[in-house]
Structure 1
Amino acid sequence: MTPSLSAALVDAEIIHDRAAIRVAVDEIADDIRADYDNEMPPPLYITVMNGGMPFASDLAMALGERGLDLEFDYLHATRYRGQTSGSGLAWLHRPATSLRGRRVLLADDILDEGHTMLAVKRWCEDQGADDVRIAVLAVKDHDRCVEGIETDYVGLEVPDRYVFGYGMDYHEQGRNLPAIYALKG
């Protein structure tokens, strides 16, 4: 039986509300805009599905407001499959756009331990990307991140607890919540 999102919300607290997320997205967009010129072809902006979709959408619009053109694609790679801990990486969709010679900007919801993002970044490099940068809405506050992975752009820090909302799921539920929640204790 799938745990209830409504029960989880009773046992959770808001860590970052919608206003804080908006500020973080704008700050990330400013930093990215400062790092990218209007080059041709434009940077390839790859959303990491499913969790990255809300953040990637907001960030893409913020970058457009700042005059940065992007070419879009997406990938879907997961270790969780609705669970609270990861296993082996499963590729559900790889980008259709060639990465060879491109600047790639990956957008995802959270960097936790980094296993999935490290595999995705290495895959992009293996496909011939000239430059791979990572933008995440949140990074989890702990010291368990795998060696070799760092984000280039981070908006918020979240506690080392189970977090959900704004792309992050609670047993595949709650991704569309407009805030980031953490289960208590």
Structure 2
Amino acid sequence: MEKFVKEVLISEEEIREKTKELGQQISKDYEGKDILLLCILKGGIMFMTELSKHIDVPVEFDFMVVSSYGNELKSSGEVKIIKDLDQSIKDKHVLIVEDIIDTGLTLNYLCDYLKGRGPASIKICTLLDKPEGRENPIEVDYIGYSIPNKFVVGYGLDFEEYYRNVPYIFVPNPEEDPRKRGSK
């Protein structure tokens, strides 16, 4: 695995501290309100789980699977809702929790889609933001880290569905993928 990690971008400790800081800010901003944390799967699950531990107002969870990537490293440009919400968001304060915002295509589509369901508010919280990759303007309310326009893996982000469990964010060296050496 050592050769596969070309560069550690954000350490586990840095993620933990930033997530705590974001949770405290969200708690302050939503004081006196309930929040529906809407996790965008699969990548957002680790971030949402940790973030929710640091939010001091009542929260509900719901999940969606929305994709514009498939198994590619670059967005296909077509957004697909693979799993929709399990509950109504009418009159609820929705906080979309994302692992990373790149082109903005998926989040723009998702926000428009959700607005039609009558929420009290919709805000966005992302662990990672790649402003250089932005093709569609999107207002992000809470950003953990702005990162360079590099392909990153770990802490929920995958490389061909693997390595989501790595507790830090790194730039991979695909030629050194341990799975290619028979260690599946």
Alignment TM-score > 0.5, same fold: yes
- Give 1:32's match in structure 2, choosing from 10, 26, 31: 26
TM-score using structure 1 length? 0.87
1:154 aligns with 2:143: yes
Q: Give ranges in structure 2 of 5+ residues lacking alignment.
A: 174-184
Say which SS state the counterpart of residue 122 (structure 2) adopts.
Answer: strand
Contact 2:62 2:85 in 1 (8 A): yes
1:14-45 C-alpha deviation (Å, 9 max, x unpaired): 00000100111011111111110233xx2111
Show structure 1 runs of 4+ deviating over 6 A: none
How far, CA to CA, are the matches of 1:68 and 1:125 in structure 2?
23
How far, CA to CA, are the matches of 2:61 and 2:122 in structure 1?
14
Number of residue pairs aligned between Structure 1 and Structure 2:
172
What's the counterpart of residue 175 of structure 1?
164
1:53 aligns with 2:45: yes
How far, CA to CA, are the matches of 1:173 and 1:141 in structure 2?
25
TM-score using structure 2 length? 0.87
1:85-117 C-alpha deviation (Å, 9 max, x unpaired): 122111111111111111101101011111111
Contact 1:161 1:183 in 2 (8 A): no
1:23-81 C-alpha deviation (Å, 9 max, x unpaired): 11011111111110233xx2111100000000010001111xxx211011111111112
Q: Give ranges in structure 1 of 5+ residues lacking alignment.
A: 1-5
CA shift, 1:143, in A, is 5.6
Say which SS state the counterpart of residue 164 (structure 1) adopts.
Answer: coil
CA shift, 1:160, in A, is 0.8
- Give 2:17's match in structure 1, choosing from 11, 20, 23: 23
